């Protein structure tokens, strides 16, 4: 069975990942499923401690396993992620480094992120600032876009142009991260203890 392709848009909250993902889905030559951690919800009564952090953690780790299974079964996917810690980055790399995974850095100036965060009204104020210096570590991408300067469609066109120019080989960013950080795909970095 032919494997699918995946586009991973990594950036802070309010950086324009969703708008860019939606625009990209409109211009790709093949159909792509949209997939986001925002699609997973739990009842509000579990949104506080002691439940929320363990549930959010297990969901995010499971998220990457879902992505891998979708790609292995021939599905193309566009996914927005916030890889704000090493464990999430490692889980992403372990599951997708050997697949056709385009790793995209979605950047935006901090001042604009904070303006958007307030304007949206559905985000915790300060979340973007808290993620700003974490989400783009180690900073290795196949392609990068800046939503401060570009519209979602312009960002999507840059991503698509890169994909069209590299459609005969596996994108290298996740492989480079796996090799440089010596991430062992066989080693489990996450264990669920209920």
Q: What is the CATH number of the domain that holds 62?
A: 3.40.50.300
**Whole-angstrom distance, CA of residue 23 vs CA of residue 25:** 5
Phi and psi at residue 96, to the nearest 5°: -125, -5
Q: Is residue 24 part of a domain?
A: yes
What is the predicted pLDDT for the residue at 192? 41
Answer whether residue 149 is part of any domain: yes
pLDDT at 31: 97
The count of structural domains within the chain is 1
- Residue 42 predicted with pLDDT over 70: yes
pLDDT tens per residue across span 85-139: 888 899 999 999 999 999 999 999 999 999 998 888 776 788 889 999 999 999 9
CA distance 96 to 178: 10
Evaluate whether residue 101 is within a structural domain: yes
Neighbouring CB atoms inside 10 A of 130's CB total: 13
Question: 192 in a domain, yes or no?
Answer: no
Residue 56 inside a domain? The answer is: yes
pLDDT for 64-90, tens place per residue? 989 999 999 999 999 999 998 888 899
pLDDT of residue 169: 60
What is the percent of the chain with per-residue pLDDT over 70, rounded to a whole number?
A: 89
Q: How confident is the model at residue 167 (pLDDT cuts 50, 70, 90)?
A: low
Which of 149, 154, 168 lies closest to 26 in space, CA to CA?
A: 154
Is this prediction's pTM over 0.75?
A: yes
Length of the chain, please?
194
**Residue 191 placed within a domain:** no
Instruction: Give residue 8's pLDDT band: very low, low, confident or very high (50, 70, 90).
Output: very high
CA distance 139 to 177: 9
Residue at 186 is within a domain: no
Residue 188 located in a structural domain: no
Per the structure, the complete domain to which residue 71 belongs is given by 5-180
The pair phi, psi for residue 45, each rounded to 5°, is -65, -15
- Asked whether residue 6 carries a pLDDT value surpassing 90, the answer given is yes
Residue 36: band (very low, low, confident or very high) from pLDDT cuts 50, 70, 90: confident
């Amino acid at each position: 069975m032919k494997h699918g392709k995946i586009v991973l848009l990594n950036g802070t909250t309010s950086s324009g990942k969703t708008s860019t993902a939606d625009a990209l889905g409109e211009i790709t030559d093949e159909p792509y499923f949209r997939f986001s951690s925002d699609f997973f919800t739990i009842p509000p009564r579990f949104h506080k401690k002691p439940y929320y952090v363990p549930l959010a953690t297990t969901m995010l780790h499971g998220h990457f396993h879902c992505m891998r299974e979708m790609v292995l079964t021939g599905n193309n996917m566009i996914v927005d992620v916030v890889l704000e810690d090493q464990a999430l980055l490692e889980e992403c790399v372990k599951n997708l480094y050997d697949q056709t995974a385009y790793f995209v850095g979605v950047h935006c100036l901090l001042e604009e992120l904070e303006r958007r965060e307030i304007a949206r009204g559905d985000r915790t104020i300060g979340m973007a600032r808290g993620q700003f210096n974490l989400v783009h570590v180690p900073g290795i991408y196949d392609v990068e876009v800046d939503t401060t300067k570009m519209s979602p469609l312009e960002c999507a066109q840059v991503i698509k142009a890169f994909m069209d120019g590299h459609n005969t080989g596996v994108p290298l960013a996740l492989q480079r991260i796996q090799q440089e950080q010596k991430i062992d795909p066989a080693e489990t970095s996450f264990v669920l203890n209920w």
